[in-house]
C-alpha cells in the first residue's frame, strides 16, 4: 500500500486541496476546490479528476472537507494519507519553518485569529477536520508569514512606542508560500537571477508585493495584518490611521462594524460599487469600475517603485496570482510607466500570458504560483525519515 500527501488551504468561502504521491519530490495526483461555502457551494477538480463543476451541500468548511474526502476516495485506490499539509496564514513572530500541528501549537496559533480573521480561524478549522478524517496522519502547518521572518529591523517596526514591538506589533508580511514557490522557480529556470533583486507581485483577490534579495524577503506591502498595502477584492489596503479614528469616534462605528467594512466592503468592491472581481470590472463601462481599476494599477505601480528603492534597484519583475497570471491588460498598464526601471513589455508575448514577457533591460515574467506544491514538499520532508 502506498502513501499520499494531502494539502489543504481553507479560506472563508473556499477550500482548495491537492493530492500527491508521497515521493521525493511529491508527484501531483489531483487538485481542486470547493468554493461559495455558505452561499452557492460547488465542487470542482482542476486536474486529475472528473471535469465539470457541480453544486454541493456545504454550509461550512467541515462540510466542504467531507465533500472533498468523498470525491478523493476513488483516486486514493487503497492508498493511505500519511501526511496532511495546511496553509496557515499567520505563524506569529517566531515560526520561520513548517511545524507539526500539536495541540499546544494549535492553541498558540488561535491567538492570532484577530490578526487574520478572514483566514486564520478557517485554516485551523481545516486542521481539525483533517485530524478527524485522518487521525494517524502527520499534520503539518506551513505559514504565510514565515518567508518574511528575515526582514531588516527597520522594515519590520512601526513608529509607535517600542514596547508594542516587543508585544508582537510588527510587519509580518503574508503570501509567503507563493513568494517561496516563485523564488525557487526563478532560481531553477533563471539561475543568473537567483541571487539578484526581484520584485514579485502576487495579484489576486488578496494582493501584495514583495522585495526579494538573494532569495530572501526584504520587504512586503502587507504588514501587521493582511489588510495593509495595495487594494484587494474586498480589503482596503493601506489607510491613514486617522480615518479609522474618525470612523470610530465621529461616525460611531463599532470595532466589529469597522472590521467588516475593511475586510468585506472595501477594495475593488467598495470603490466600484459593482463587483470585487477584476475580470468583471475590466469588462464594465461603468465609471466606478474604471475608477477601481485605475486606483489598483496606480497603487501597484507606486509600490513597485517603493520596493525598487528598498532594493536599490531591480533585476527582474515577476507577476503571479489570479490577476497577475491572467490579465494582460493589467500587466501592460502597470508596466507602461516603469520604463525608468528598465521595464518594457513584449506586447505579443504579454497578450498570450507567456512566461517571459519582457522586451527591455529588466526581465519581466509571469510565473503561475503553486502554494500547494510548497506545502507538499514540506510535508514530504517530515515523512522521509519514517519511510
Q: What CA–CA distance (Å, rounded) separates 314 from 106?
A: 39
Q: Is residue 43 within 8 Å of 32, Cβ to Cβ?
A: yes
- Residue 328's Cβ-count burial label (10 Å; 0-12, 13-18, 19+) is middle
Q: What CA–CA distance (Å, rounded) separates 244 from 339?
A: 36
**Dihedrals phi, psi of 10, to nearest 5 degrees:** -95, 120
Distances in Å between the Cα of 131 and the Cα atoms of 27, 201, 239, 270, 312 are 23, 34, 39, 38, 46
Give me the catalytic one of 57, 60, 108, 144: 144
Helix H or strand E encompassing 218? strand 216-220
Residues 6+ apart with CB under 8 A from 174: 89, 90, 116, 144, 145, 148, 206, 208, 220, 222, 226
Residue 167 CB coordination number (10 Å)? 10
Q: What CA–CA distance (Å, rounded) separates 145 from 177?
A: 8
Of 175, 202, 198, the residue nearest 187 (C-alpha)? 198
- Secondary structure of residue 322 in the 3-state scheme: helix
Q: What CA–CA distance (Å, rounded) separates 117 from 224?
A: 13
Active-site annotation holds for 144: yes
How many residues are given for the chain?
Answer: 387
Active-site positions?
Answer: 144
Amino acid at each position: 500500500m502506498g502513501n499520499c500527501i494531502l494539502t489543504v488551504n481553507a479560506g472563508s468561502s473556499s477550500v482548495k486541496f491537492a493530492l500527491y504521491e508521497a515521493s521525493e519530490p511529491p508527484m501531483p495526483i489531483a487538485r481542486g476546490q470547493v468554493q461559495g461555502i455558505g452561499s452557492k457551494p460547488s465542487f470542482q477538480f482542476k486536474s486529475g479528476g472528473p471535469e465539470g463543476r457541480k453544486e454541493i451541500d456545504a454550509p461550512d468548511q467541515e462540510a466542504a472537507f467531507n465533500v472533498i474526502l468523498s470525491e478523493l476516495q476513488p483516486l486514493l485506490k487503497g492508498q493511505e494519507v500519511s501526511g496532511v499539509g495546511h496553509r496557515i496564514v499567520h505563524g506569529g513572530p517566531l515560526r520561520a519553518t513548517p511545524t507539526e500541528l500539536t495541540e499546544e501549537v494549535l492553541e498558540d496559533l488561535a491567538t492570532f485569529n484577530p490578526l487574520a480573521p478572514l483566514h486564520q480561524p478557517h485554516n485551523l478549522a481545516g486542521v481539525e477536520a483533517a485530524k478527524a478524517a485522518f487521525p494517524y496522519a502527520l499534520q503539518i502547518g506551513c505559514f504565510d508569514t514565515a518567508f518574511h521572518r528575515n526582514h531588516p529591523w527597520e522594515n519590520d517596526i512601526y513608529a509607535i512606542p517600542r514596547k508594542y514591538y516587543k508585544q508582537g506589533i510588527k510587519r509580518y508580511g503574508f503570501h509567503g508560500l507563493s513568494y517561496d514557490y516563485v523564488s525557487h522557480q526563478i532560481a531553477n529556470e533563471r539561475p543568473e537571477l537567483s541571487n539578484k533583486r526581484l520584485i514579485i507581485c502576487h495579484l489576486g483577490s488578496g494582493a501584495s508585493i514583495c522585495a526579494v534579495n538573494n532569495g530572501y524577503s526584504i520587504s512586503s506591502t502587507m504588514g501587521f495584518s493582511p489588510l495593509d498595502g495595495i487594494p484587494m477584492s474586498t480589503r482596503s489596503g493601506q489607510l491613514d490611521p486617522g480615518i479609522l479614528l474618525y470612523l470610530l469616534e465621529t461616525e460611531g462605528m463599532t470595532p466589529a462594524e469597522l472590521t467588516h467594512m475593511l475586510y468585506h466592503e472595501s477594495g475593488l468592491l467598495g470603490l466600484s460599487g459593482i463587483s470585487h472581481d477584476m475580470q468583471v470590472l475590466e469588462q464594465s463601462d461603468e465609471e466606478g469600475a474604471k475608477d477601481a481599476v485605475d486606483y489598483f494599477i496606480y497603487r501597484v505601480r507606486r509600490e513597485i517603485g517603493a520596493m525598487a528603492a528598498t532594493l536599490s534597484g531591480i533585476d527582474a519583475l515577476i507577476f503571479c496570482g489570479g490577476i497577475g497570471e491572467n490579465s494582460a491588460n493589467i500587466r501592460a498598464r502597470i508596466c507602461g510607466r516603469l520604463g525608468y526601471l528598465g521595464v518594457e513589455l513584449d506586447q505579443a508575448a504579454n497578450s498570450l500570458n507567456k512566461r517571459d514577457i519582457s522586451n527591455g533591460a529588466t526581465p519581466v515574467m509571469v510565473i503561475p504560483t503553486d502554494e500547494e506544491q510548497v506545502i507538499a514538499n514540506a510535508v514530504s520532508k517530515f515523512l522521509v525519515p519514517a519511510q
